[in-house]
Structure formats: structure tokens, C-alpha cells
Chain A
Amino acid sequence: DAKTTQPPSMDCAEGRAANLPCNHSTISGNEYVYWYRQIHSQGPQYIIHGLKNNETNEMASLIITEDRKSSTLILPHATLRDTAVYYCIVGEYNTDKLIFGTGTRLQVFP
């Protein structure tokens, strides 16, 4: 079973920041937080991952709370093309599998 809890759906206005929350209260010390997204009719796309420090790349920022029990994925300026299902996953760095939950369906509207 997935070790994360995410809201089933969220809306965001185009150009605004999209903040997607994820709870992972049972995360263990050596587990990372990974984010993937899946645009309709495509395979999942890797976005970002982190252990305990906040991370930023060209796609998004990942904010992990100090106790590591929750995190937030931030898309700073959402576009219509960011409409997708976003998956938050926890797992060890050398794990052989990603355990997906049902994710958050983000709808970006004009």
C-alpha cells in the first residue's frame, strides 16, 4: 500500500502558484520523497525528489517539513500544460519499486 495521503483533486488558476500537499507520517529516516506527474495518455514524468532539505529544479520546488511527516510540491507559475495527476511517493534510495497511490488530479484553468 502507498505510504502517502494526497487530496484527490485541486484547482489552480493559470499563472498562480500550485501548492500540492502530501502527508507521509510513517516515513522512515532513510526514505526519500519523490514526485511524479502523469499527463493524460502519457507515462508518469519524474519531477523532483528530496530527503530532508528543500529542493528546487527547473520544474518545481519541494518543501519538506522539519519532522518529514509532510511535504508540498510547488509549481510556481502553473500553466494549462501542468494539468495532470500528481503522485507523491516515499521510498528508499535504492528501492526496486515505486509505490503509487491515487495521486492528486490538478486542474489548471484559464
Chain B
Amino acid sequence: ETGVTQSPTHLIKTRGQQVTLRCSSQSGHNTVSWYQQALGQGPQFIFQYYREEENGRGNFPPRFSGLQFPNYSSELNVNALELDDSALYLCASSLQVNYGYTFGSGTRLTVV
């Protein structure tokens, strides 16, 4: 079985732009979560999708939005990028909510 794959691996954007990050969940996993990890910090929960519906959200502004597709893959969209959005963005999937999440290797976003 394949693990969680994220694309792209690295990305550089300019302040004010919009970005879409993609995640393919592990086969059979119907729950996808997104996390933001700033340098030297632990990952911070952004939101979770379960069967295409948002199932919970962390303390992030509305310009962070997401989607989950029928095949359980997912997108994270960030509008009006700010310099502080520079971070590693991690996607995690699980067979059901909070049952041993499998993380991808992340997308390193740099906002200049």
C-alpha cells in the first residue's frame, strides 16, 4: 500500500499570492488532516476532513481553506499569503478519526 504523498515538495510564493497544496491519502483512509509546522515548532492543526466534510478546525483564519474529494485526496488553499505563512505544511490521513495518523513528508512553502 502507498503512503501519504504531498505535492509539490517545495514552493516559493510572493506575499499576497494564493497557493494550493495537494495530498493523496493512504489507500483506504477516509480522514485527512492538515498541519502547519513553523521552524523549530511542533505541527499546528489547521483542519480535518472526514468523508468530504470539514470535521474540525484549528485557530487559523478563513483564508486557509480546504477540500476533500470523493477519492479522499485533499487540497489546502491559502489566499493572500503573508510572510508568516512560510512553513512546512503536513498532510495526515487515517482510517478513521484519530486512529494512528500517517503523515506525508510535507510541502515546504516559502513566502517572500
Footprint of B on A, CB under 8 Å?
2, 41-46, 49, 87, 91-103
Contact = CB atoms under 8 A, between A and B. Distances in A.
A94 B41 contact: no
B48 A97 contact: yes
24 contacts: A2-B42, A41-B105, A42-B103, A42-B105, A42-B106, A44-B43, A49-B100, A91-B98, A96-B33, A96-B48, A96-B98, A97-B33, A97-B45, A97-B56, A97-B58, A98-B33, A98-B35, A98-B43, A99-B45, A100-B35, A100-B43, A100-B44, A101-B42, A102-B40
B42 A43 contact: no
Contacts of A97: 33, 45, 48, 56, 58
Nearest to B100: A46
Residue among B35, B44, B48, B101 with the highest chain A CB neighbour number at 10 A: B101
Nearest to A95: B98
B41 A102 contact: yes
Interface residues of B, number: 25
Contacts of A93: 98
B105 A98 contact: no
B92 interface: yes
Nearest to B45: A97
A98 to B, nearest CB: 7
B7 interface: no
Interface string B65-107: 0000000000000000000000000101000011011111110
